[in-house]
Amino acid sequence: MTDEVKVEVRRSGRTFEAEAVLDLGADAQTIWDTITDYDALARFMPGIHHCHVSERHPRGDGDELVVVEQRGEFRFMMFAQTMQVLLNIENRHLHSSVAKAVRFDLGSFFTRRAVEAFEGRYTLTRLQVDGGSPRTHLVYTALIGLRLPPPPTVGHMALRQNLVVQLEAVAREVARRAGRPDARPRVV
């Protein structure tokens, strides 16, 4: 069965809500190890040039609080905007990873002016498979609040384009780690 990625973006004024659903041919542990491997994100995730864990606070049962610094860029068509993000991430082992921006800077002009709020959440659900390979349902949701409204359709298209590219990269990396390096995700 093919890995599938489905992305929807909704806009209400200056707020965007996005949901991506990935149906992946891998066990939950492989997916978890991929999405929480912050030191490797820059290697496989388009748009992330540097990712560093500056603090890690274990909470038991594999749960933890993590502070992560990321640098990269947000791309749309041939335009690119640099970004620096400081995230507080709460990981509930094999269940969810919730990232909230403490600081979200876009370039030098928009520093602390463009993004008012950012929260991204991964949620994993193991699927029952009778006698077959393991499959896991991965849902990514994001809430992004902007201080200034983007042009009418540009924000929606740019956000969707970036999510599709990044989540296809997650699906490819999960497939590689699961021993299926030739698997290609299909956007539906």
Q: What is the largest CA-CA distance in the chain?
A: 55
pLDDT in tens, 51-90: 999 999 999 888 999 999 999 887 665 567 788 899 999 9
Instruction: Domain ranges for the chain, please list them.
Output: 4-137+156-182
CB atoms < 10 A from the CB of 154, how many?
A: 12
CATH number of 4-137+156-182: 3.30.530.20
| Angle subtended at Cα 35 by Cα 34 and Cα 41, rounded to the nearest 5 degrees | 80
Give 1 or 70, the one with higher predicted confidence.
70
Residues in the chain, how many? 188
Give 147 or 44, the one with higher predicted confidence.
44
The CA distances from residue 50 to 53, 90, 168, in Å, are 10, 20, 19
pLDDT in tens, 138-163: 999 999 888 776 666 666 777 888 88
Strand partners, 126: 136
